Amino acid sequence: MKNFFSTRLLKWYEKNGRHDLPWQKNTTPYRVWISEIMLQQTQVATVIPYYQRFLSRFPDVQTLATASEDDVLSLWSGLGYYARARNLHRTAKIVVKDFQGNFPRTAQQFSELPGIGQSTAGAILSFSEKKYAVILDGNVKRVLTRYFAIETPVDRADTIDQLWTLAAELTPKKNTHHYNQAIMDLGATLCARTQPRCDACPLTNHCEARQQNKMTFYPVKQVKKERPVRKTKMDIIVDAQSRVLLVRRPSKGIWGGLWTFPENNALKLPLQKISELPTLTHQFTHFTLHITPIYYRIKKMPSALDSSEMIWYNWSDDLPGGVPTPVTKILKIMRNHIAQSALSKIGA
């Protein structure tokens, strides 16, 4: 069974797999590591432009290690799951300080670095060093749970152990890097979450889920509680020069270290409310956030705003660092609004 599985998969990959992704060229540990972290919970098409910009700005681990966190988060803006960017930065510093700029050579050492689990460590070693290493990302889990019709929830500890055992048994000692890319490609293209293309799959004749005609039943997931809803009001505070106030969030928690608007008038400033903008909805992994942006003019500039964690953002300047997607949307709305107001005054 092992030889059949890997042989059919490798043959399919040779003709149909993805061979020209940016991180498949010049496969250094650094370049592969960046791609693997970006690809966590993010699709390939979304990652590609971010990866290219990131490598252009931070071409090696030394450059990344010496960069400011604001620079790193700025390049990550819009990609989401910002803990990944902060972990990249932390890991770069560790590699430079503790490993003299050289990446670890074992999966155990890799998996001890921030943001790198067992599967990511295996992928980095497999693709950059061509070493034997087993992986178990979301695509691999989907392929294996369908092929073997595993009916226990995929996120349960005993199921994860079972999947690691199966993955290790199936992974060939030779051409491991091709096999690992092949099974990820299969999960990403043919064995998709919805509407799997079983007719084109090289494993279809032996796939238990296909025999049962229950492909989308797998992988089984535990019933999740309804996602809670939270609400907040973002204070869009504009001064006499049409600059807008941005504050840096604490390093821990949601949007840690990113620049956003103050919320719920926490700064207790003398404000004149101008208008309320349409509510935005943003989905986090564990809750839904409804954001009501409120446009204010500040009546008097207090000296208490003189802080490194706050800035008056001038529209002609670059953003000071990373900015969450909802804040980017609000900034765009406000930029257009302020520009239109200026034109109206000129016309008058």
Q: Catalytic positions, please?
A: 36
**For residues 295 and 276, is the Cβ–Cβ distance under 8 A?**
yes
Contacts of 287 (CB under 8 A, 6+ apart): 227, 228, 229, 230
DSSP-derived secondary structure for 58-112: --SHHHHHHS-HHHHHHHHTTS--THHHHHHHHHHHHHHHHSTT---SSHHHHHT
Helix, strand, or coil here: 1? Answer: coil
**For residues 218 and 187, is the Cβ–Cβ distance under 8 A?**
no
Closest CA to 155 of 94, 221, 99: 221
**For residues 97 and 91, is the Cβ–Cβ distance under 8 A?**
no
